[in-house]
Amino acid sequence: MKKMRILSAAMFGCVSSLAMAQTAVGTSSVTMYGLVDVGVNRVTGTPAGAVTNITSGNMEGSRFGFKGNEDLGGGYRAIFTLESRFEADTGSVSNRPVSGGRLPDRLSTASSLGLPTALQPAVSAVAAQLGASVGVNLGSNIFDRQVFAELVTPFGAFTAGRQYTPGYQASTAFDVMKTQSSLALGQLVAIPASFDIRVSNSLQYGLKLNGLTATAMYAAGEIAGRANAGRLLGFMAMYQGNGYSFGGGYNTRNNELGEKSLTSAILGATVDVGPGTLTGQFTTIKDDNPTGMSGISAALAGNPATAPVAGLVQNAFIQGFRQDARLFQVGYRITSGVHTVAVAYNSMNDKRPFNADRVSYGAAYTYALSKRTDLNAVFTHLNNKNTSQDLLGGNGFLGGVAAKPGQDVNSLALAIRHRF
């Protein structure tokens, strides 16, 4: 422990010395930053009933990172960002939902997938395999949130690394909660995931011109022998005027076979109305070739008991995980002094035969103790309809799966957030 303390002190000293030395010449700087968000979250409708937990990431995911900035002269700058997540309640860098690796019944029961009930053992085996990947940063990557280098020029910015996708940036801009808390629109589409939030191995070009902001991204899947496999393309354009904004974004990703997979298109706008801001967003989600399904048949073929039905079961899961949905949010936010209040109504219209529609609505209140620290309270009610089985989480953690299809869910979070 003593050696660890000495090493930590030495590392901190090196970073501090570097920042001071570079700042002294006025050409570059390195800054450490972060955010700690922790509180109490109570959610009803889980497989274990009402659950109360200490949770990290209620409003925003807890994180720390380093940013560097060097002025190269002539309008050129070099920038880097290294950003890591952490769980303020446990100290871990990953988390799983309260429902664990459970999938919704419509994706884990033979009858819901259109298969004979006799095939339930094979379906359960596949569902367990797929459910093992449900969570946040389960690979415990150090800089899971962001890691990139950027060259800013008079003609725009060029960025390479792991970063937010253009579609997600557009969704964030027109979400009244800025994707924060259980009241965010994205809470309706957690399992299966309907947004590519971040992507690795990406190249992005960005431009800011007067009130216009635009980006275009290419991300390589880097799967040997398949140039288009895992590839993501995205773009975003937004215009900020006096008291209003509008714009949109688009992401499309290929699966591991190179087939067009998850595609999201976002349109949104904001306008100042009275003392606050009215926001609206409409999003379409389409996925005819879900990612991660191609290995199901091979896994089942290794077992003599399931080998004869391997192809049949794989096709059923592909059908089940396909997505075709319309998302909508309308919200209003008011800030007055140290008080901020936001209300939102979210809906998802599922166009598939499952008809897993869902609606959520609620309110959020923030009290600013200072410029860096605030207290937050968020209440959200979720109405699962038909086969929908969504469970509310927070910005930094997945909600998971409710106890049964059609189960209504309530979430109340009380948290403190500090930025440094």
Per-residue pLDDT tens over the stretch 339-377: 999 999 999 999 999 999 999 999 999 999 999 999 999
Q: For residue 282, what are the contacts with CB-CB under 8 A and spacing of at least 6?
A: 266, 267, 268, 326, 327, 328
Residue 9's pLDDT is: 40
Hey, what domains does the chain have and what are their CATH numbers? 37-97+137-419 (2.40.160.10)
298 has a pLDDT exceeding 50? yes
12 has a pLDDT exceeding 70? no
Per-residue pLDDT tens over the stretch 206-226: 999 999 999 999 999 988 888
Per-residue pLDDT tens over the stretch 390-419: 999 999 998 999 999 999 999 999 999 999
271 has a pLDDT exceeding 80? yes
Beta strands in 165-243 (DSSP E): 198-209, 212-219, 232-240
Length of the chain: 420
Per-residue pLDDT tens over the stretch 145-203: 999 999 999 999 999 999 999 999 999 999 999 999 999 999 999 888 888 999 999 99
Residue 191's pLDDT is: 86
Residue 223's pLDDT is: 85
Q: What is the CA radius of gyration of the chain?
A: 23
Confidence at 20, pLDDT banded by 50, 70, 90: very low
Of 110, 105, 102, 31, the residue nearest 64 (C-alpha): 31
Element housing 151 (H / E): strand 146-153
Residue 19's pLDDT is: 44
